[in-house]
A = this chain, B = another copy of it.
Amino acid sequence: MSENARPLDLLNNARGKMILVELKNGNSITGKLIAFDVHINITLDGAEERKNGDVLRKLGSVFIRGDTIILISPTV
């Protein structure tokens, strides 16, 4: 672990991989990370919206506004 490690490194390394996004409204979205910016706005491909683990709907491509995000975790 470097003194120079930065939080966005995690997102950079997750490009093209599946991630879990937890939203402030209690729902989660999974999908392949395509892009992000400094506001943590992100775009995903093959996205699915979930509530308590159940799929609410398949979204496909999706833009998520950064200020609605609690956390982002690469899924194994």
Residues of A within 8 A of B (CB): 1, 3, 5-11, 15-16, 20, 23-26, 29, 34-37, 40-43, 47, 59-74, 76
Instruction: Tell me if A9 and B23 are in contact (CB < 8 A).
Output: no
What copy number does this chain have within its complex? 7
8 contacts between A and B (CB under 8 A): A5-B35, A10-B35, A20-B59, A47-B73, A63-B73, A64-B70, A65-B71, A68-B69
Q: A7-B37, A7-B43, A36-B7 are in contact. Are A59 and B71 (CB under 8 A)?
A: yes
Task: Let me know if A71 and B74 touch, CB within 8 A.
Answer: no
- CB closest chain-B residue, reference A39: B7
Contact A65 B63 (CB under 8 A): no
A25/B63 contact (C-beta < 8 A), A36-B7, A37-B7 known: no
